[in-house]
Structures are given as structure tokens and as C-alpha cells.
Structure 1
Amino acid sequence: MTETFDMHRRLSEALADSTEAWRFLREFAEYWQQPLRPGDGWSERELRAAEARLGLRLPAALREAYLVFGRRSDLTSNHDTLLAPDELRVVDGALVYRAENQGCAFWGVMLDALEHDDPGTVMRLDLADKAQERWEAWNPSLTAACVEMVMSEAVQYDKGFTDYAEWETGDAGERLRDLLQELPAPGPDSRWFSGPDVLVRAVEGFCVHARGRTAEAMEQLRETLPWGDWLEG
């Protein structure tokens, strides 16, 4: 891996082509965390057992994710959780594969889309009024969902150089755009930005998550973005 990683170019390629998405995920893991290695994924036997229990076939893209990095909690489960194969379940016509850390939301694939290798994904909020719960379209493909998952978990890695800032006025993305390079969005709920050795996710009207490759990069980011109440700054 070279000392630089062109996030904008590589992410653009990943979101346009599923083959490039898997290459991006390997390069991203090596640059921001640790290289992917044999044993980082679940086994075929474990996936087949899950399929037999559920009575369905997992889409090729989901199988690939589980086989390649499904056990890497640093890439999948720092905040929200990629369910283990024996935790996969069907809820109201969708295969649920990921859960928000407090059970407030779930991500899945509609059962009638499982025949596709790389189907779109859906999201469902856990509401007090269960009659109001609906599966809503989320990512256009499972590979895009995997890219979003790994990036989102990376900026919330509790053993890395990460930070969090409350930002409730709704214009964090616009202010970030003036200071960092905006990236193509891998999902619908956030805007992404990068700078020298830093990665930033802005959830409009809520918060900013940031990750640096070094303590120095993270401190420079805090100085560049002095607004907001940085948790660690």
C-alpha cells in the first residue's frame, strides 16, 4: 500500500462498480485499520448453516462480505452491528443483516430481491407505534451498503484517533465543504469529507464524526474545524 490513498477517486470507482467496491474495501482496511487476512471472515459452513436455518440463499454480495471481513468488528461493529450468520433473521418480508447499536434501526434486503447478486438495501426505524414501521429504500446496492458500513465504523473506532462533535444547526456539511474535499456519498443519511490523513462524516442537524490516521492529523483537524463541541478536543 502506498503512503497516500485517493479517497475521492477510489470511492467514486467503488460506487460505480461492484468489483471496484471490493478492491476499495481491501485498500481502505489496509490504509485506515489493518490489512484483511485469512480468518477475518465467516466460513462457508457457517453461511450454509444460516441459509439452511432461514430457508433462503444469501445474495452473493452479502456472502462476499461475510466471507472476507465479517468477523472484523473494527470494520463492521464499532457502533452499529453486522449480525453474525446465526443472528440473521427475517422481519416483515426482509432479511435483516445489520442493527443500530441501541436497536433503534435495522438494515436489510427485501426477500423478493434476494435472487439478485447485489440487491438494494432497506432500513427500518424501531418506533413506539409499530403500525407505523415501514421498510424504506436505503442503499442502491449491497456493495454500496458495505462501503458505507466500513467507512461509518472507521470514524467511530474507539481505539483510533477519532472524535465527535455535536452540531445541531444543520449547516455542518456546508462549512466542511469550504475546508475539506467532499466525497461521493455512499449512503443517504450523511455527507463525507476528506483531507490529509483525515476522514469526516457529517450527519446534518446532529453531529460530526472524524478520524485521523495519526494524533497529529486529528489535532490539526480540530484546529481547522474549531466550531462545535469536540468530545476529546
Structure 2
Amino acid sequence: MVRSKRAICLRYGGLNPVKSSDTIVGYQGKKQKILVVDDRWENRSVIINLLEGIGFEFAEAADGQEGLEKAVEFQPDLIFADLVMPRMDGFALIRQLRQLPQFQYTIIIAVSASVFDADRQSCLECGCNDFLAKPIQAKDLLNKIKSYLNLSWICEQQVTGENFTVAFPLASRPEEMSVPPREELLVLYEAAQSGNVEGVEQEVIRLKLLNRKYSYFAARVQELSEDFEYEAIVNLLDRS
């Protein structure tokens, strides 16, 4: 169950109180496959970098012909296809994919720097589901993926100061909670025992930066610290 979101103010090295926002770290359900077809590697990397770390599986192709071959091999759930490419352009790729039974209902989103209505209409007529304009905006990309693949995002609460960014999960899920080794918990243990608020908060940040798998453990400690439950933190550490 996701708890209600609260702003988390941290003091770290004299920084001012930080502000919070959401960052997507995953999605519910089976792993989704995405194929990115574009003749320029930097354009492919924009999409992959924006989605990296969320949990998708990727394949890439440098032109329409390679895209057709990769699609048959990879069987993606969603395809991003540039329209202007050598050997086989995006229009021809989409038409050929739609002629194959296994791609009758695969989500295909055309990507192009052109914003003319005629080009968008041509994309729809050749069989694509939607159009994404370059330069690609992260919000637009995520919204289309969420809508077409019917996904529910898993989010973390991200706290950002002047010189650092740390993400804390909005919910603690004990079945996924990895506990740091005991030697990494000694400073936290001493800070909790003495009721050192700032010391506990700094250790929460350090553990989160130490390894992503400690996110839920750090979040649980943060929750207890916000309620000044330092005895409970000590008990949690004793059981770890």
C-alpha cells in the first residue's frame, strides 16, 4: 500500500531544506519489450536513456530493414520508428510490419522532427498508432507508453538539494527489503541510540547512495525517524 506523500526535509552538510517530487522507477506487471528504430544512434539513445532503469527490455535497429528483422526476432510490445531512414524508411517499415500477423496489434509510434499535419496523417494511414515529435519530451514519451501499454508506474519520492539527489520509496515492501551488512549500520545505530536526528538522516542518505537495493530499508528508517521513533529504529537494527 502506498502511503500518502509527504515532503521530506533533510539537513545535509548545511544545505537548505529540500523539495520533493516523484520519479518513476518501474511499472507493475510483466516485463515489456521496446524496439527503437532510427538511423542515428544518438536519437535511439535519447529514448533508451529516458527509459533506462524503469525495467524495460530494449532492442535497437539502424534502418527500416534491420528494424523489420529485429522486430521478428525480438517480438516487441512497442516500436518507436523514425520516418526518415536509409534502405527502408519508417513508412515502409510500418506497412510491412502490419502485413505480418504477429504485428497486427503491436503498438507502433512514429518519431519525426516534422510537425506537419499531413505527415501525422500519413503515419496513421500506413498503420502506426501515434506520432511523437522530435525533440522528444520525457513527459510525452512516458505518457504515451503508459497509455498504450496500459501500465501503472511505480514511483519513488525524490528529494533534491543544491548538490545531491536521493530517491526514497513512497512505500516500504518488507518482502523486497534488502538489509545492509552490520558494519554499514554501526553509525546509524549509534545515532539512533543517542537520538541524533541529523546523524540518522545523513545515514539514511548514505545507505541509499551506497546501493539501490537498500532503498526500502532506508525508507523504513526514514519513516521511523520522521515520527521520532528512535527506539524502534534501534529495535529494527537489532533484528537486522
Fold shared, TM-score > 0.5 on shorter chain: no
TM-score of the pair, normalised by structure 2:
0.27
Larger Rg, first or second structure (1 or 2) = 2
